Amino acid sequence: METRRFFRGGDITILANIIGGFIVILVGTALLPTVATQVGVAQADGNVTGAADTLVGLTTLFFALAIATSAIGIAAQGLRNSGLI
């Protein structure tokens, strides 16, 4: 008797990459306001001045870029595994 499989091994890997990418995007965007708030608190504290204050201000930007880069990387890996790239 032949059993039918709905997913092949490669399909499950592609699906796992897609789900992982969505989880990274959801968690990252959910944490973005918290990161921005804490950066604002750190800057308003007055203990950080000069170049350090500039770098602390850029923390939110770096966090958002990390989320976008990881999402693009996961999507590219999924497309590469599926043979589209």
Residue 31 lies in a domain: yes
33-42 long-range contacts (CB < 8 A, ≥24 apart) are 35/59, 35/60, 35/63, 36/60
Residue 17 lies in a domain: yes
In this prediction, residue 9 carries a pLDDT of 58
pLDDT tens-place string over residues 31-85: 999 999 999 999 998 888 899 999 999 999 999 999 999 988 887 887 787 777 7
Residue 36 lies in a domain: yes
Residue 75 lies in a domain: yes
Residue 4 lies in a domain: no
Is pLDDT of 4 > 70? Answer: no
Q: How many domains does the chain have?
A: 1
User: Can you give the residue range of the structural domain that contains 37?
Assistant: 9-82
**Burial level of 17, CB count in 10 A (0-12/13-18/19+)?**
buried
Residue 3 lies in a domain: no
In this prediction, residue 37 carries a pLDDT of 96
Residue 1 lies in a domain: no
**Residue of higher predicted confidence among 68 and 20:** 68
CA 30 to chain centre: 11
Residue 2 lies in a domain: no
Query: Among 10-14, 27-31, 35-39, where is mean pLDDT lowest?
Result: 10-14
Going by C-alpha positions, the residue among 32, 40, 26 that lies closest to residue 62 is 32
